[in-house]
Structure formats: C-alpha cells, structure tokens
Amino acid sequence: MLPRRTVAAFAAAGLLLPLSACGSGFDDSSKPATQQSGPATLKVMIAASGGAELKAMQDAAAAWHPGGSKAEVVSANDLAQQLSQGFAAGSPPDVFAVDATKFQGYADEMLPYGDGLSYKDDIYPTLRTTFTKDGKLYCAPKDFSTLALAINTDDWAAAGLTDNDLPKTWDQLKTVARKLTTGGRTGLVFNDTRDRVGAFLVQAGGWAVDADQKKATADTPQNLQALTYVRDLLASGVAKYPKQIGAGDSGEAFGQHKASMSIDGNWMAGGMKKDYPDVKYRVVALPAGPAGPAGPGTLSFTQCWGIAAKTKFQEQAKQLVDSFMQPQQQLAFAEAFGVIPSRQSVRTQYEQKFPAQAAFVAGADHAHGPVTLTKMDPVLTDFDAQLQQLPGADPKRILQQLQQNTAAALGQ
C-alpha cells in the first residue's frame, strides 16, 4: 500500500499461484456476472506489510460470516502482477487492495460502488478524490499514511532549540537544519524520490498534473521554486539524501543518528520501536511553503478495497468491505499495523489512543494523493532518476523533461 516493506512469503504454501476459476465465484469473462444470493466464499487479496497485518486481516475476515458466507485472505508478494494475472484469466479475487498509484489501471475491472456507501461523507475528502474517476467514487479507501517531520529531541535541545523554533516555513526549516548540522551528522534527511520531494511541490502550489490528471503541469514557476529550494538545501549540506550519508533510507539514517530530522511517514513508528528503541523523537507537521493558503502540504499514501466487477457475489463483497470499514475495526487495524483510519469520525479516538501520531493525522486535511494513472509509471520513474541527481542537476531542465514526458503519456 504505502512505502512500507512487503515481507510476506507465501509461495511455499501455494498462495502465490494465480487464482483459478474453480470455486472463485466468477462467470466466464465474456459473460456478465449472474449475481447469487446464497452463502459465498470470498477470496480477498492484499499485500501485507508483515505478519501482523496479515493476521489482523485474517482475524477480521474470520469474524465475518453472515448467512454461512466466509472470506479467505491471502497476501501477495507482487499484488499488481497477481491482480493483472487474475483479471487476464477472468478469475481475480472478489475483494482486493488497490494501491492509489495503480487505481486507474484497474478501474475498468472494478465495481464502482463507492457512491453507495452510507458513510461516504465520513471518509477524508482527499482520499475520496484519489479514488474518484469520471465523477464516481469507485471504492472505499481502507486506510492511509502521510508525511511529517520527525525530530531527534536530544539533538534539538543540545542545539538550544525550543518549541518556538519548530519550523513553520521553508526558511525556518533551513535555519534549524543548519543549527542541527554537525561534523558527523546532517540536519535533515529525506528520500530521493517524488514520494518525498513531491511534498515540496505541493507546498509551493504545484504538481505534475492538473486535478483531473488530463494535463501536464510540471514546468511551472511553482514547481521550479520548490525544486530550487530542495536543490539549495542539498547543496548547502544541511540536508542530504540517505545514500549520501551511508544509509538505505531516511528512517535508517534517522535511527542511526546520522541525521537529526527526517521527512517520513507514520510507518516509521514501528521501525523505530523495533530497531531503534532508544532514540527519543517527536513528530510535527511539515512546514508550509510559499503558496499562501495552499502553503501547508504533505503527501498521502493509500489503498482502497476494490471489488471485482465480474464477481457473482457483489452484495456479499460489499458487506465484507463494510465490516472492514466499521470504526472499531479500523481502530483495530491501526493498532495492529500502524495505519491511520480513513473515516473522519474515528479521528478523535485514534488521536487519544496514539497521541504521538497526531501530526500525521492532521496532514489529512491538506494532503495530496499520488498520480493514479498507470501509464505515468515510466514517466515518474524517470523523474525519480532525475531527482536523484540533485543538487548537481538543473531544476528547470528536470521539470522541462517531466513536462515533455507527461504530455506525451497523456497524449497531448
């Protein structure tokens, strides 16, 4: 779902084979599905971040058994590939996790049921937007993560910084990063891809495509201002990419005390607790950019519960999704594997239970979802490669290339 490590390995158990049509609840792919009202055995496929997530999902599925129906959850090691195989064979899982970055590539195979959700308006608007196509909400966003600023509190105090110094603007972020930078430690670290640098684009009021994802908007003054700021941060030495300080990613750099601040997602909490339990830190909102009211900005990473359009058990599948989306079940998932519930009505309970995560939840109010067009994948991969050349590369040329490639991918 999110930029988390997928560590499930189920090949030995035979769970990674393409799903067969036998007993799968599907008609021949050339015929419309004939809906069945009797007990259903639903196949559910996810990409579990680990054993805790898989167990939580299997427990939730086991608790759902109306009228003799049941659901079986399996975890894929390559969800995108296995879903594509299932659709091609006419036998995808009945219910499946859909990553936002792959959503529009699967939309034609999905049942657009989202507008019928009784709790539709309770879902964060930014998440609804991510899974909306042609005015229709296709699926229920299952959970999400955002980016925020993690700060090593011991380093902060040693540098003479207080709560009054928490960065609210780009200038203030650069200032505190400079004060935290020492001979053996950099002030700020963030990963070298659009999944981190993109937050600065949003804070400047920019993005690679327009709101409808039909027009390239990469080569703009807003994006140039953002990318120039990132280049200057890196060039000054107060910020670095993980590879520049011998770390695999920003979480590792922060945990190993190679950096005093890190731009990361709420999935970092589990890694810090497990691998770096002695590091004292706090998390605050990312600073606002220069875009006036649009200045606050972060990125969201999310998945939704897709339902196969051709399943014969559409109603049962919708009932299963509803059970996963219940407030107490969302809180149980949050406790089990660290995600943020997608329903706004759960926010207060979540913040009371996980007060250290408040900055991540607050990011939902101004988060920008990823590009959801599969045809943009090679374009964005190239963009990442260009970002990795900073600070030596020219921001203007990077954006011109992104503009050209995006326009070509969109058929402009």
* 257/401 same-domain check: yes
Q: How far apart are CA 41 and CA 39, in angstroms?
A: 7
How many other C-beta atoms can be found within 10 angstroms of the C-beta atom of residue 334?
A: 21
C-alpha distances in Å from residue 180, one per residue of 211, 257, 262, 321: 37, 12, 12, 46
Domain that holds residue 305: 11-145+300-368
Establish if 319 belongs to a structural domain: yes
Q: Are 132 and 80 within one domain?
A: yes
For residue 274, what are the CA distances in angstroms to 71, 216, 227, 250, 260? 31, 42, 34, 16, 19
Are 250 and 344 part of one and the same domain? no
163 within some domain: yes
My answer on whether 230 and 257 are in the same domain is yes
The answer to whether the beta carbons of residues 399 and 227 sit under 8 Å apart is yes
Q: Are residues 306 and 382 in the same domain?
A: no
* Closest by Cα among 284, 254, 251, 255 to 361: 284
Can you tell me the distance from the alpha carbon of 155 to that of 254, in angstroms, rounded to the nearest whole number? 11
The reply to whether 31 falls in a domain is yes
At 111, list the tokens. 């049942």
Q: How confident is the model at residue 35, as a pLDDT?
A: 77
Residue 321 CB contacts under 8 Å (≥ 6 apart), including other chains: 95, 113, 140, 305, 307
pLDDT per residue, tens digit, the chain (412 aa), is: 444 433 333 333 333 333 333 333 444 444 445 678 778 899 999 998 888 899 999 999 999 999 999 999 999 989 989 999 999 999 999 999 999 999 999 999 999 999 999 999 999 999 999 999 999 999 999 999 999 999 999 999 999 999 999 999 999 999 999 999 998 899 999 999 999 999 999 999 999 999 999 999 999 999 999 999 999 999 999 999 999 999 999 999 999 999 999 999 998 988 898 899 999 999 999 999 987 666 789 999 999 999 999 999 999 999 999 999 999 999 999 998 889 999 999 999 999 999 999 999 999 988 999 999 989 999 999 999 999 999 999 999 999 999 999 999 999 8
Tell whether 240 and 385 lie within a shared domain: yes
Residue 97 and residue 181 in one domain: no
Dihedral sign (CA 346, 351, 356, 357): positive
Q: What is the pLDDT of residue 23?
A: 34
Number of folded domains that form the chain: 2
Alpha helices, DSSP H only, in 265-326?
268-275, 314-324
Which residue in 307, 295, 312, 228 sits closest to 26, CA to CA?
312
User: Do 285 and 153 have their domain in common?
Assistant: yes
* Residue 167 Cα distances to 71, 172, 209, 410, angstroms: 47, 5, 28, 37
The residues, ordered by sequence, that sit 6+ positions from 330 with a Cβ below 8 Å of its Cβ are 143, 324, 341, 342, 343, 346
pLDDT at position 50 is 81
In 90-169, which residue ranges form alpha helices assigned H by DSSP? 103-106, 125-130, 153-158
264 lies in the same domain as 387: yes
Question: Considering the domain boundaries, does residue 1 fall inside one?
Answer: no
Radius of gyration of the chain (CA): 22
In contact, 41 and 25? CB cutoff 8 Å: yes
> CA 94 to CA 248: how far, in whole Å?
37
Residues 250 and 131 in one domain: no
Please check whether residue 351 lies inside any domain of the structure: yes
Q: Both 151 and 260 in a single domain?
A: yes
Beta bridge partners, 281, equal 152
Cβ atoms of 24 and 91 within 8 Å: the answer is yes
The answer to whether position 59 is within a domain reads yes
Say whether both 190 and 84 belong to one domain. Answer: no
- The CATH number for 171's domain is 3.40.190.10
Q: What is the DSSP letter of 20?
A: P
| Neighbouring C-alpha atoms within 13 Å toward the C-beta of 345 | 11
Which bin fits 289, alpha (ψ -120 to 50), beta or left (φ > 0)? beta
Query: Does any domain span residue 6?
Result: no
Structural domain contains residue 5 = no
Residue 320 is given by DSSP the state: H
